[in-house]
Amino acid sequence: MLNKELHEGINDQINKEMASAYLYLSMAAYLEGNNLSGSAHWMRKQAEEEMEHAMKMFDYMFDRGNQVTLLAIDAPPAEFSSPLDVFEQVLAHERKVTGLIHSLYALSIEHKDYAAQTFLQWFVNEQVEEERNADGIVQKLRMVGDKGHALLMIDRELGAR
Ligand SMILES: [Fe+2]
Ligand SMILES: [Fe+2]
């Protein structure tokens, strides 16, 4: 069994991962509505990945003999000012999630829960990827500014995910 703090922490993180999926799905809707179907596709995949993260944690709780209690998810923002604004928010959000994962990891060290450390290590590595991907897109969008043609090129690239 996971100790109380880790149990509550991972239970909360299931909610955070699902909230991330909800946020990214809202961003996908915004992008789709603005005719950026490649970016919308990328964001939809991102939402699916967040659901996979939630399910990994969901399953792990039962692997350890703990119970899961699902919590409420707030409505995500629906309006964004530009594709750059969207991806800047993705990057900021992923940085925040990295902090949450690191706190859980620190907790598993504190409680000498070696199994949880191994489990959480996957998420620590995943966050490096997540931040790197979001940052790469932000950099590109900053580079093109409001040049429509270049934006469409990036959109096509994101559609290949
Ligand atoms: Fe995640
Ligand atoms: Fe993520």
96 CA to centre of ligand 2 in angstroms: 10
Q: Judge whether residue 117 has pLDDT over 90.
A: yes
* 15 contact partners, CB below 8 Å, separation of at least 6: 70, 71, 72, 73
For position 35, what pLDDT does the model report? 96
Q: For residues 78 and 28, give the distance between their C-alpha atoms in angstroms, rounded to a whole number.
A: 10
Look at residue 146 and tell me whether its pLDDT is greater than 90: no
Q: Is the pLDDT of residue 135 over 90?
A: yes
Close Cβ partners of 151 (under 8 Å, ≥ 6 residues apart): 36, 83, 141, 144
pLDDT band for position 104 (50/70/90)? Answer: very high
Report the interhelical angle of 83-110 vs 114-144 (nearest 10°): 160
The 10s digit of each residue's pLDDT in 28-59 is 999 999 999 999 999 999 999 999 999 999 99
* Location of structure tokens 């399910």: 55
Q: What is the C-alpha to C-alpha distance for residues 105 and 147, in angstroms, rounded to an integer? A: 42
Q: In a 3-state reduction of DSSP, which class is residue 13?
A: helix
Ligand 2 centroid to residue 153 C-alpha, Å:
24
Please indicate whether residue 149 or residue 146 has the higher confidence score (pLDDT): 149
**Ligand 2 mean position to 14 CA, how many Å?**
12
Ligand nearest to the CA of 13: 1
Six-digit token string for 122: 């996957």
Q: With 90 as the cut, is the pLDDT of residue 18 above it?
A: yes
State the distance from the centre of ligand 1 to the C-alpha of 79, rounded, in angstroms: 22
Is 29 in contact with 41 (CB distance < 8 Å)?
no
What's the gap in Å between 13 CA and the centre of ligand 1?
A: 9
For the chain, give every domain's residue range.
Answer: 4-159
Q: How close is the Cα of 161 to the center of ligand 1, in Å?
A: 17
Q: What percent of the chain has pLDDT over 70?
A: 100
pLDDT digits (tens, 9 = 90+) for 65-83: 999 999 999 999 999 999 9
Instruction: Answer whether 0.85 is exceeded by the pTM.
Output: yes
Q: Which CATH code fits 4-159?
A: 1.20.1260.10
Distance from residue 144's CA to the centre of ligand 2 (Å): 25
